[in-house]
Amino acid sequence: MKAKLPVGIIGLGRMGQLYARHLAAMPEARIVAVSDIVAGHTEEFAAQIGAKNWSANYQDVLDNKAIEAVFVISPTNTHAEIIVAASETGKAIFCEKPIALTLEETDRIITALEKTGTMLQVGFMRRFDAGYVAAKKQIEAGVIGKPTTFKSVGRDPFCPDLNYARREVSGGLILDMAIHDFDLARWFMESEVKRVYTEGGTLAFPQLNTVGDIDNAVINMLFENGALGNVEVSRNALYGYDIRTEVLGTEGGLNIGYYRETPLLVMTKQGVTHDMVPYLHERFGQAYLNQTHDFINRVINNQEPAVDVHDARATLMIGLGAIRAYDEARPVELSEYPASSDSNV
């Protein structure tokens, strides 16, 4: 039997715990150490998943020579610092999206990775969801002809913690949520985005105004190949977690996503009803597991990442352009942003 890949986890919030539980049950991996700034929580959770080493300082995980791969699931505004530090240790890195909040930070990461030859895979889990994977195969097979329009809807069922909603922490609504849709847009349409225009506002949760965020946005996109795109993100889908994508082509279309969580219709004289997908874990739990398996196997087999830092940079640039378009109430050409080699790093 092959030895399990020794891994470390940095960040044990909601998403960090999800990855940790997947890894703890995975025959290919072994959790050596975990870290989170909340020490008591970290010690307790480490015991739950069988990790013998825990710390409130992420550097302790990076300094552990037994670890060969590290998962960076900490707050977004800490990603760049941790990735650069991790790259100096030679450990393979998995980082949740986005890997940074600015292009300058992203280019600092690229420089560090190129200097050390470190492998980094970026967490865009929808690429590992069965429906999205099947749709990509249909597009590649030419089933719908040439893709002409892209439409994606991402609606959360509640308002997030106000501190998390701050742009300087998570990137805010557009960068935190719509970045998944921007990644899918590039992946499905096989073209970079040329121009974006955004309308948005605080329409349901006025408390978001106190931290400079909004709760609804609609972003229109023009791709370099002439195709069109539209992304809607919202925080007030109080009926459930609503994630859907459509791609229209010259010979047909694709519709990815679903409303009903349980295959049950309740039929009475009052009408026909069904439940709704509750939230992220129920909708994309398997995708997160598939993504984690993929990364572990790529590290073991010394393969290139499925989603790399250049994908992350291109997607971030769309998000930053969409934010600028909203702030300045104008269409934004992505050529306004420097290419990676032109950035001041």
- Tell whether 295 and 245 lie within a shared domain: no
Q: Is 245 found in the same domain as 158?
A: yes
Q: How far apart, in whole angstroms, are the C-alpha atoms of residue 322 and residue 170?
A: 15
Report the candidate in 95, 248, 243, 261 with the shortest Cα–Cα distance to residue 178.
243
Check if the beta carbon of residue 249 is closer than 8 Å to that of residue 148: yes
Q: Do 134 and 219 share a structural domain?
A: yes
The answer to whether 95 touches 87, Cβ cutoff 8 Å, is: no
pLDDT for 3: 81
- CA 5 to CA 113: how far, in whole Å? 21
Same domain? For 101 and 217 the reply is no
The answer to whether 112 and 84 have CB atoms below 8 angstroms apart is yes
Do both 217 and 291 map to the same domain?
no
- Asked if 297 and 330 sit in the same domain, the reply is no
Identify the CATH number of the domain in which residue 26 sits. Answer: 3.40.50.720
Q: How far apart are CA 11 and CA 286, in angstroms?
A: 21
Q: Are residues 71 and 149 in the same domain?
A: no
Whether 48 and 175 share a structural domain? no
Instruction: Note the pLDDT of residue 40.
Output: 85
Q: What pTM was computed for the model?
A: 0.95
Beta bridge partners of 33: 8, 53
pLDDT number for residue 22? 97
CATH number at 165 reads 3.30.360.10
> What is d(CA 193, CA 48) in angstroms, rounded to the nearest whole number?
44
Residues 203, 277: one domain?
yes
User: Which positions ≥6 away from 285 have C-beta within 8 Å?
Assistant: 18
Boundaries of domain holding 24: 5-126+287-307
Count of helix runs (H) and strand runs (E) in the chain = 10, 15
- Tokens standing for 44? 């307790």
Q: Are residues 324 and 298 in the same domain?
A: no
Let me know whether 64 and 206 are in one domain.
no
Q: 23 Cβ partners below 8 Å, 6+ apart?
A: 7, 9, 29, 31, 49, 71, 292, 296
Structure confidence at residue 345 (pLDDT) = 35
Residues 168 and 103 in one domain: no
- 204 is written with which tokens? 């349901």
Residue with tokens 């942003």: 337
Count of domains for the chain: 2
Q: Rounded to the nearest 10 degrees, what angle do helices 309-328 and 103-116 cross at?
A: 170
Tens of pLDDT, residue by residue, the chain (345 residues): 568 999 999 999 999 999 999 999 999 999 999 999 998 889 999 999 999 999 999 999 999 999 999 999 999 999 999 999 999 999 999 999 999 999 999 999 999 999 999 999 999 999 999 999 999 999 999 999 999 999 999 999 999 999 999 999 999 999 999 999 999 999 999 999 999 999 999 999 999 999 999 999 999 999 999 999 999 999 999 999 999 999 999 999 999 999 999 999 999 999 999 999 999 999 999 999 999 999 999 999 999 999 999 999 999 999 999 999 999 999 999 999 998 755 443
